[in-house]
Amino acid sequence: MAPTLTKAAPSVEYAARLEHVSKSFTGPAGQQLVLDDISLDVAPGEFVTLLGASGCGKSTLLNLVAGLDLPTAGSISTDGRPALMFQEHALFPWLTAGKNIELALKLRGVPKPERRDKAEELLELVRLKGAHGKRVHELSGGMRQRVALARALAQESGLLLMDEPFAALDAITRDVLHDELTRIWAETGLSVLFVTHNVREAVRLAQRVVLLSSRPGRVAREWEVEIPQPRRIEDAPVAELSLEITEVLRGEIRRHGQH
């Protein structure tokens, strides 16, 4: 039987809470409002996708939740420190797959004698059993993202933040990793906040899709996704809801273009 992480019962009201969050940056043209008055909760164990046109502030919002930047206004609370997974795998090329994971375990304070076994367990969880000694250049793009996911899981956070982690992958590999992520989410009870610009990916994965308007980013609309898992990206209900969301997204883009 494949190992799993401990699935803890929810003990908090939310995994992440954003209350009236705004973010401005100072540029050549002065203050630029990127995010405006965003309020959003992610419940324990919930999978939420954050969707919007390029430049709407999705990644900025994720960075704020991760604590990599501070909001200009409003407040953000999380249940512990979130784990963050980027579009690029960001693995250290001079370390093996297993040692990349062991480094995350070391930073978390896991004793050295336990790190190897824990890294092996995480590699097996992401279906990379036996890859501990492989160098990064020996891994395919999909395998690298699996290692990056295992490294994020090594932080044992209750909240996983994912910034378009599969955008650079081919369609088949991306579809396989959708299945793997859905499986791991179900097994672990993680809360996930997943940024994407791909509408079908958003519907394929999430329990709830949150659409941001074009800049400044505001919560334009939300959809509860009641399609049973497992889902396929080509399933008719996924396609139908994706079409509805796409039409709203196009309206947001058109509205922004008129300013």
Q: How far apart are the first and last CA of the chain?
A: 57
| Cross-strand partners of 206 | none
Domain total in the chain: 2
Q: What is the pLDDT of residue 144?
A: 92
Domain's final residue, options 156, 177, 204: 156
User: Does residue 175 sit within a domain?
Assistant: yes
**Do residues 47 and 168 both lie within one domain?**
yes
Q: Given this model, what pLDDT does residue 22 score?
A: 95
Tokens describing residue 250? 């196009």
Residues 6+ apart with CB under 8 A from 41: 14, 16, 17, 18
Picking from 127, 156, 185, the residue at the C-terminal end of a domain is 156
What average pLDDT is seen over the chain?
89
Same domain (yes/no): 219, 173: yes
Q: What is the structure's pLDDT at 30?
A: 78
Question: Does residue 9 lie in a domain region?
Answer: no
Domain shared by 180 and 70, yes or no: yes
For residue 252, the model assigns a pLDDT of 83
Cis peptide before 93 (omega within 30 of 0): no
* Same domain? 166 vs 59: yes
pLDDT attached to residue 11 = 54
Q: Domain of residue 151: give its range.
A: 92-156
pLDDT at 242 over 60: yes
Q: pLDDT by residue (tens digit) across 198-217?
A: 999 999 999 999 999 987 89
Residue 26 lies in a domain: yes
Tell me, yes or no, whether 167 and 228 share the same domain.
yes
Closest CA to 181 of 210, 196, 235: 196
Q: What is the pTM of this model?
A: 0.89
- Nearest CA among 16, 18, 17 for reference residue 72: 18
Summarize the confidence of residues 107-118 as an average pLDDT: 91
Q: Does the pLDDT of residue 8 top 70, yes or no?
A: no
Q: E strands, the chain, where?
A: 16-27, 30-42, 47-51, 73-78, 83-85, 159-163, 191-196, 208-212, 219-224
pLDDT at 90: 81
Quick check: 218 and 37 in contact, CB under 8 A? Answer: yes
Phi and psi (nearest 5°) for 31?
-70, 130
Is 167 in a helix, a strand, or coil?
A: coil
Same domain, 116 and 241: no
